[in-house]
Structure 1
């Protein structure tokens, strides 16, 4: 799977997720999917990777900072487990891989059937993680404004501000979804 300039990251918007937010949980179990148009790296057309959404998005946004710094990041989905490996190949490209077992993280050549990979531009990746973070923050506060004071929402706001600062210093412009 390869698409240099398209990357979408969605979280599942369903009644259970909304209800959990309304009841005061800033990090409910929900689902995430990542696609490059019609092809899915994580999840599928009607399928999402079950995870604690806010925590996962915080780590995705933080990985955008790592990409801008040229550093690799592995995000563990604790509700699996599975692993999202974000690896800048140079200043302009980033490889994003969803790996189903830890051994595929350590030795990907041994387990190619357990790995889905896409290569995109660094700008596209950073923009996609920023956009999902901004959308999730707005969604949480729309459904429960009192969560503004929660540590989880505060962490999301802080990492989004850090990413914005890094984007400005790297001269990264927003791309439309």
Structure 2
């Protein structure tokens, strides 16, 4: 695999009732929408579609996945709404990422559909953008409802954010 440099962009959109869920209902894991672009092309979602996610839980799971990426182990996150799968296949400095819409494709690259394209980015770029998007979400929730800081979902998200930042430091020092 030839290392490539790609611009990674996470697009998180809050559901219509986000503010109500967080403020009035003390929901620490509200529903939202995720799209991810690499070099302007969609890895997750399209212009008209997105992956529905429970933001705190799914972002924490993506952040936890960075441990395997940094250590060089293939890993997969299952998005519960669908389901669909984000497969990460790390190499030395890069990671191949594929958003699979069916389990067979997630388990076996030979079974992937034509639309399930693989993108290669540096581990650093992927983790940096994921951390930035997750931090912004985390801050937004706590700004709306500071009482949620001690909630289990947000505690886990905060812990995974800190661990992912440490992994970024490791990558920077390699």
> Could you say whether these structures have the same fold, taking a TM-score greater than 0.5 normalized by the shorter chain as the test?
yes
Per-residue deviation, residues 127-161 of structure 1 (Å, max 9, x unmatched)? 11111121111111111111101000000111111
CA contact (8 A) 1:41 1:116 kept: yes
The 5 Å alignment of 1:16-165 reads 16-22=17-23, 23-88=25-90, 90-165=91-166
Q: What is the Cα deviation at residue 85 of structure 1?
A: 0.4
Q: What 5-or-longer segments of structure 2 have no aligned partner? A: none
**Unpaired runs of at least 5, structure 1:** 173-177
1:16 is displaced (CA, Å) by 1.5
In the superposition, the TM-score normalised over structure 2's length comes to: 0.89
What is the TM-score when the length of structure 1 is the normalising length?
0.88
What is the RMSD of the two structures over their aligned residues, measured on CA atoms?
1.9
Q: Across the two proteins, how many residue pairs are aligned to each other? A: 170
The answer to whether the 8 A contact 2:72-2:92 is kept is yes
SS of the aligned residue for 2:17 comes to helix
Structure 2 Cα separation of the partners of residues 69 and 10 of structure 1: 26
Instruction: Pick closer, same or farther for the CA change 1:37–1:171 going to 2, 3 Å.
Output: closer
CA distance in 2, matches of 1:26, 1:137: 10
Kept in 1, the 8 Å contact 2:70–2:123? The answer is yes
2:27 & 2:4 partners in 1: Cα distance?
35
Q: CA deviation at 1:114?
A: 4.9
Residue in 2 aligned with 1:175? none
Structure 1 consecutive aligned stretches of length 4 or more whose deviation exceeds 3 Å? none
- The residue aligned with 2:14 is 13
